[in-house]
Structure 1
Amino acid sequence: MTGAGEAPTGPLAGRTALVTGGGNGLGAAIARALHAQGAAVVLAGRRSEPLQQVCAELGARASWHACDVADPASVAALAEALADVEVDVVVNNAGVAGPVAPLTEVSVEEWDEVFDVNVRGVFLVCRAFLPAMVARGRGDVVNVASVSGKRPLVRRTPYAASKMAVIGLTSTLAFEVGPAGVNVNTLSPGPVAGPRMERNFRLEAERTGVTEAAAEEAFVSRSALGRMVTEEEVGAAVVAMLAMPGLCGADVDLSAGMVA
């Protein structure tokens, strides 16, 4: 479903960006930021309703497709649906948080679900859309990882391991397609203010017997800015990365100075 309207303006006018996990949270924020700079955006995700809602909000130059990034057939169907669209920006944002538990209590099914979405999904989407970018000699891929891939996150081993895998995938892929003019980078946000972190603070409060406010304060006190980052800041970071043509193989830390 595509909106129609005025001719786009802005530094990204004429470009089309695919954003996975685009129906809510960081994906929706990234889509809004790209759209505000003139890009046409294609939102992909497993649930149609939130994708439709974001597209209705954006209006012109926004479209959506249902897609499970962990499913090869679903990703292939998405690529086929967009075969006539020059997708020259791919933001691999789709991801799951996974269990909050010691490694010894994590089931094989929970582990596999995290890696299927967070790592396999990035692989499948890159494999589907990179050949056209390489053939055109230009394009950008931004893989959303996390500072948790580089720093300890107790009781979140599957998530931390999956995000480190994304960082490794990105750094290697940059050398494979960089010579063809395609930039591949990682954006590693720190904790982002919103429902997911509120859930984590609630669980931490239950585990330690403190209030949720105290759990949050203890957490944000570890950052240089004394706060979490916002979804809007993550969207702005993606736009900024696309404005730096020399950025390739990089891992951009956006964490308000969060330390382990």
Structure 2
Amino acid sequence: MSGRVLITAGASGVGRAMAEAFDAAGAQVWVADVNPKALSDCPAHWRRSEANVADENAVATLFQDIEAEWGGLDTLCANAGIAGPTASVEDVALDDWRMCLAVNLEGAFLSAKYAAPILKRQGSGAVVITSSTAGQYGYPNRAPYAAAKWGMIGLAKTLAMELGAHGVRCNVICPGSVEGPRMEGVLQREADAKGMTRDQVYEGYASGTSMGRFVEGHDIANMAVFLASDAARLVSGQVIAVDGHTVNPDPKV
């Protein structure tokens, strides 16, 4: 595919897998990330920006740079997110709640806010928002994360309605448990809180899917490429889980 693609949190994890998949498909790739080391490790032909999506000035500058260099944008992958605290709701500090919503929900909002005028002017494009199955089922001991991910789905469905008349589509990918460092942190924190081992918690999550396994970054990336492509030209306002089919969002182990 041709096109110009921005991926937030694109220097590592799922975002890096997305960037690699779009690159392999022939797109021009721009990654934004808060981690300068991860950005420096990206391929030299990718455009790279250090930017915090929760900072409106940083997001505004990012999109100004994109317009100056590219003259437009074809796909926004609003992928930035943090896990937030692992604690029962009464033990969640308000500052931790606010930080989780700022990066996950406000970050997606700000990215969409500054992408929308560009996409509307050119009369085409796609927005792909990375939410979570926590935004479909809830997530015990992860209230800030679940609340943010539910909010991202409402944001995306509204964007699909606002932008559709301009030829712009918006869809949501809801990953299940994704192999990688961020999920490893979640597993260990939950294991510590429950007096269990990391492997016991891992098996509990895996057994909550009909396919009995975690997903990998490239599974999410492949869906993002499809949703940005002409093959999905009439797919908009949809929430698509890539999770191995969650059958029990709160498995007991």
Place the TM-score, normalised by the shorter chain, in its bin. Answer: over 0.9
Which residue number in structure 2 is paired with residue 7 of structure 1? none
* 1:83-128 Cα shifts (integer Å, max 9, x gaps): 2312110000011110001111111111111111111111111111
Q: Does 1:168 align with 2:147?
A: no
Q: In 2, distance between residues paired with 1:214 and 1:116?
A: 31
Candidates 118, 139, 147, aligned match of 1:132: 118
> How does 1:1-260 map onto structure 2 within 5 Å?
12-13=1-2, 15-56=3-44, 60=45, 62-84=46-68, 85=70, 86-243=72-229, 244-259=232-247, 260=249
CA contact (8 A) 1:193 1:230 kept: yes
Contact 1:185–1:249 (Cα < 8 Å) also in 2: yes
- 8 A Cα contact 1:55 1:64, kept in partner: no
Instruction: After superposition, give the CA deviation of every residue in 1:15-43 in whole Å (9 maximum; x if it has no partner).
Output: 01000001111111110011100001000
Deviation of 1:197 after TM superposition, in Å, equals: 2.1
TM-superposed CA distance for 1:199, in Å, is 2.2
- In the alignment, the residues of structure 1 paired with residue 81 and residue 98 of structure 2 have an alpha-carbon distance, to the nearest angstrom, of 13
Q: Is the 8 A contact 2:125 2:169 kept in 1?
A: yes
The count of corresponding residues between Structure 1 and Structure 2 is 244
Task: For 1:64 and 1:156, locate their aligned partners in 2 and report how far apart those are by CA, in whole Å.
Answer: 31
Superposed CA RMSD: 1.2
- Say whether the 8 Å CA contact 2:212–2:244 is kept in structure 1: yes
1:152 Cα deviation from its structure 2 partner: 2.6
Q: Which amino acid counterpart does residue 181 of structure 2 have in structure 1?
A: P
Q: String of CA shifts for 1:189-217, please: whole Å, max 9, x gaps.
A: 11101122222222333233333222211
% identical aligned pairs = 33
DSSP-derived class of the 2:137 partner: coil
Q: Provide the secondary structure at the position in 1 that maps to 2:74.
A: strand
**Contact 1:68–1:74 (8 Å) recurs in 2:** yes
CA shift, 1:247, in A, is: 0.6
In 2, distance between residues paired with 1:210 and 1:106? 21
